Structure 1
Amino acid sequence: MTAIDLDDGPLESVRFTGLKPGPKLIVLGAVHGNEPCGPTAILRAIDDCRAGRLKILRGEVTFVPVANPKAFRQKTREGDRNLNRDLREKPLANDYEDRIGNPLCALLRQHDALLDIHSFRGEGEPFVFFGPQNNRGELEPFARAEEEAALAGCLGVAIGIHGWLDNYARLLAIRARLDVPRLAVTEGYGTTEFMRFCGGYAVTLECGSHDDPEAGEIGYAAIRNTLAQLQLIDAAMPALALKDVIEMVDVLLCETQGDAAEGPWRTGDAVPAGAIIARRADGTPVTAPRDGFVIFPNKAPKLGEAICHFGIAGSRGPAA
C-alpha cells in the first residue's frame, strides 16, 4: 500500500453511549503527529470502557485516538500543514489537513465538550489552555466560560493559561511589519476555537514534553477526571488542581533570522521584571517587561514566528 493510499484512509473514532441522558464529550489525540501521549491515553481509556473498568452510564464519549493520521504515520508535527491552524470546513480541500479537517469538524459539531490532548517541545510543567470569559465580541464570542473553567480545573494539572487568540492577534499585528506572508486571524483557530464557535466548550491539555513517559499517564488521568466531572461515569467529583492561572498578554517575534529565546526558561516559569528572556541577532538582549511568565520559548524560531509568549498572573480561577 502506498503513502497516497494510506492518506485516503478513514478517520477512526470510537463512541460509547450511556443509557441515561447526559453531555456529549469528544476526546482527541495526535492532532500533531509527533505527540504520542494522546493516543496512548485514549487507547487505554477505550480498553477500559470495553472491559467495563470505565462504565459510561450517561451521555456519550467519542474517542479519536489519532486526529491526524498522516502526521502520526510520519511521526511529524504536520502532515502537509498544521491541522490546529485555520481549522474549519472547506468544500474545496487544498491539502491533507483540509481533507481530514472536514470530518473532524463534523465530529466536533456533534458534541458539547472537547478534551484535546497534546504535548510540547522542550521541558516544562504540564498545563491546560482554556478560553475567554463570556463575551459578545467579534474575535471569540462565548457563553460557557463557567463550564469550561470547571473542566480545566479538574484535569489534574496545576497551571492554567488563557488568552491565546488575543495574543495571536497581537502576533499578526507585529508580523505584518515583516517581509513574510500575511496571515489571517483565522490561522489562530484550532480544535478548541472551532468547538466554541459551534456552541460547545473545550480545553487543550499539554501533558509535558513529547518524550516524557509520564505524559501518557497525565492524559489518561485527565480523561478519567473529565468523565467523572461530567458525570458520564459514577465517580466522585475530581479535586480542583489548578493553582496558577496565567493570562497571555504579549508575544515576542523573530524579526531577524537569529533572534532567539535565551536562558533556562521553560513554559510556565516565573520571570522577574528585567530578566533576559531572549536576544536579538545583533546581540541586543530582550528583557521581561514586568514580573510574569514565559510561555513556549523557542531557541530556533523562523522569521515571523514567536520567540516566546509572555503572561502575567491572571485573576480568573476555575470558577471564573
Structure 2
Amino acid sequence: MSFASDSTSASRWANLPDVLRVHGFSALAPGPRLMVLGGVHGNETCGSVAIERVLAQFDAGELCLLRGQLTLLPVANPLARRRLAREGERNLNRLFRPTPTGRPPADYEARVTDLLCPLLDRHEVLLDLHSFQSAGQAFAMIGPRDNTGHLEPFARAREEGLLALHLGTPRVVEGWLDIYAAGLAQRARTGIAVEEDAIDFGRGTNEYMRSRGGYGVTLECGQHEDPAAPEVAYQAILATLRLLQMLPPDPLAKPPAHPQLLRLTRVIDRQHADDQFVRDWATFDAVARGEPIGQRADGSIVHADEDGYIVFPNEEALPGTEWFYFARESERRLA
C-alpha cells in the first residue's frame, strides 16, 4: 500500500464494502482507551492514509503498544468514501447519537452511528482526523471549558487542551457548539424554520464522546488535496500515543510550542445562491473591522464587525446553511 496522499484516486475506494473495518490493540498493562477515526467524511482521505500507515507499523513490529487499548478505524463512512463525497446520505458528523429504541435507523449514516456509538462508549479519548475544503493550515478543534451548563457540560477541558497542544498545529479553535446554537437562534429570528431538536444536528463524534465522560479533539489536517495532510495526521496519531504513554517517548522531541488560540464568535449563513465572496478566502485569513467579506444577492455588503479571522469559508454553501465562520483571539490557555 502507498501512504502518499492519493485522495484523487477513486479506483482505490470504488469497491469498498459496507463494513466498518475496526482494528483493536490491547496491551497487558492497563492504561488509557484511545480511538482514532478516519474517513468520517468520504472526501477527507488523509486520516485513512495515516491510520493505514500506523497499522502497517504495528503489524511489522515497528510499533508496540505499551499500555491501554487502541482502536483504529480507517474509514468510518464507506458509502461516502466510495463516492469520494463529504456525505453518503447526510453528514455523519452531525446528529451523532444512537437511534432511539424501537425506531429503525433513518438513513445510512444512522446505521453507521448505531455501530460507532457502542465503540466510542468503550473508550475515553478520541482523535478524529479530518481535512477541509478551502486553503489553509492544519488546526485542532476543542470543546468547551469546564462547565455545568445545559448545552455541553464538561469536566475534562485540561486533558483535552493538553492533547490539542501536543498535536503541533499552529492554531487551535474553540467554541463550535456554542456558535452552532447561536446560528440556529439567528435563523429562527429571521423566520427560517428550525426544528425543536435541531441543536442535536450540531453534535458530532467529539460531542458524543464528551457526553459519555470522555474527551476528544478534531484535527483538521489541511486542505483535502494537500499532499502534506496525511503526514500531519500520522504525526498526530504518534503524538497522541506518546502523550498518553502508550508508546515510548521520542528522545528527539522538543516541548510543544504554544499555538494561537481562536474562539469562534459568529456563523454567517448564505441566504441566496447569488451571495458571493468578494475574494477567495482561505481559512484563518485575517480581516479588519469594517472590511468587506461578501456581497449579498441584493447588493448589500457583509462586513467584519471586529478584527478577526475567516474560518471554513464555503463558496458552495447552499442557501440557509453556513457560509463562513468568524473567529477572534481567545484568552484561554491550553495548559
List per-residue Cα deviations over 1:173-219 (Å, max 9, x = no partner): 12224565524100000000000001000000001111111110100
SS in 1 for 2:206: helix
Equivalent residue for 2:53, pick from 16, 32, 44 = 44
Q: Specify the code of the residue in structure 1 equivalent to 2:110.
A: D
Q: Specify the code of the residue in structure 2 equivalent to 1:61.
A: L
**In 2, distance between residues paired with 1:241 and 1:69?**
36
**In 1, distance between residues paired with 2:154 and 2:187?**
27
Q: State the match for 2:220 in structure 1.
A: 206
**In 1, distance between residues paired with 2:135 and 2:322?**
17
279-288 or 114-123, larger mean C-alpha shift: 279-288
Question: Does 1:244 find its partner at 2:251?
Answer: no
Q: State the match for 2:235 in structure 1.
A: 221
Q: State the match for 2:333 in structure 1.
A: 317
Any conservation in 1 of the 2:134–2:281 contact (CA below 8 Å)? no
Equivalent residue for 2:139, pick from 108, 122, 127 = 127
Any conservation in 2 of the 1:114–1:203 contact (CA below 8 Å)? yes
Question: Does 1:34 find its partner at 2:43?
Answer: yes
Superposition CA RMSD, Å: 1.6
Any conservation in 2 of the 1:260–1:298 contact (CA below 8 Å)? no
Question: Does 1:298 find its partner at 2:314?
Answer: yes
Equivalent residue for 2:184, pick from 149, 169, 172 = 172
SS in 2 for 1:98: helix
Aligned residues: 314
Q: Specify the code of the residue in structure 1 equivalent to 2:47.
A: G
Any conservation in 2 of the 1:167–1:251 contact (CA below 8 Å)? yes
What is the identity percentage for the equivalent residue pairs of Structure 1 and Structure 2?
45
Any conservation in 2 of the 1:167–1:248 contact (CA below 8 Å)? yes
**In 2, distance between residues paired with 1:261 and 1:53?**
48
**In 1, distance between residues paired with 2:43 and 2:17?**
20
Equivalent residue for 1:157, pick from 169, 189, 199 = 169
Any conservation in 2 of the 1:262–1:299 contact (CA below 8 Å)? no
**In 2, distance between residues paired with 1:256 and 1:212?**
30
Any conservation in 2 of the 1:116–1:204 contact (CA below 8 Å)? yes
Any unmatched runs of 5+ in structure 2?
A: 1-14
Q: 1:143 to 1:22 in 2, by over 3 A?
A: same
Cα offset for 1:256? 2.8
**In 2, distance between residues paired with 1:26 and 1:68?**
16
**In 1, distance between residues paired with 2:305 and 2:223?**
27
List per-residue Cα deviations over 1:41-73 (Å, max 9, x = no partner): 000011111212221111111000000011111
Equivalent residue for 2:247, pick from 213, 233, 243 = 233
Question: Does 1:76 find its partner at 2:101?
Answer: no
Cα offset for 1:271? 1.3
Q: 1:7 to 1:123 in 2, by over 3 A?
A: closer
Q: Specify the code of the residue in structure 2 equivalent to 1:28.
A: L
Q: State the match for 1:3 in structure 2.
A: none
Q: Specify the code of the residue in structure 1 equivalent to 2:59.
A: R
Moved beyond 6 Å, runs of 4+: none
**In 1, distance between residues paired with 2:185 and 2:221?**
30
**In 2, distance between residues paired with 1:79 and 1:266?**
26
List per-residue Cα deviations over 1:75-118 (Å, max 9, x = no partner): 11111110001000004201110001011011111101000000
Given the two structures, how large is their TM-score scaled by the length of structure 1? 0.94
Equivalent residue for 1:17, pick from 26, 38, 41 = 26
Cα offset for 1:304? 0.9
Cα offset for 1:34? 0.6
**In 2, distance between residues paired with 1:242 and 1:67?**
31
Q: 1:101 to 1:279 in 2, by over 3 A?
A: same
**In 1, distance between residues paired with 2:185 and 2:170?**
31
**In 2, distance between residues paired with 1:7 and 1:39?**
13
List per-residue Cα deviations over 1:236-256 (Å, max 9, x = no partner): 476324421000011111223
Question: Does 1:142 find its partner at 2:151?
Answer: no
Q: 1:36 to 1:29 in 2, by over 3 A?
A: same
Q: 1:238 to 1:39 in 2, by over 3 A?
A: farther
Any unmatched runs of 5+ in structure 1?
A: 1-5
203-212 or 249-258, larger mean C-alpha shift: 249-258
Cα offset for 1:222? 0.4
Any conservation in 2 of the 1:19–1:59 contact (CA below 8 Å)? yes
**In 2, distance between residues paired with 1:78 and 1:11?**
16
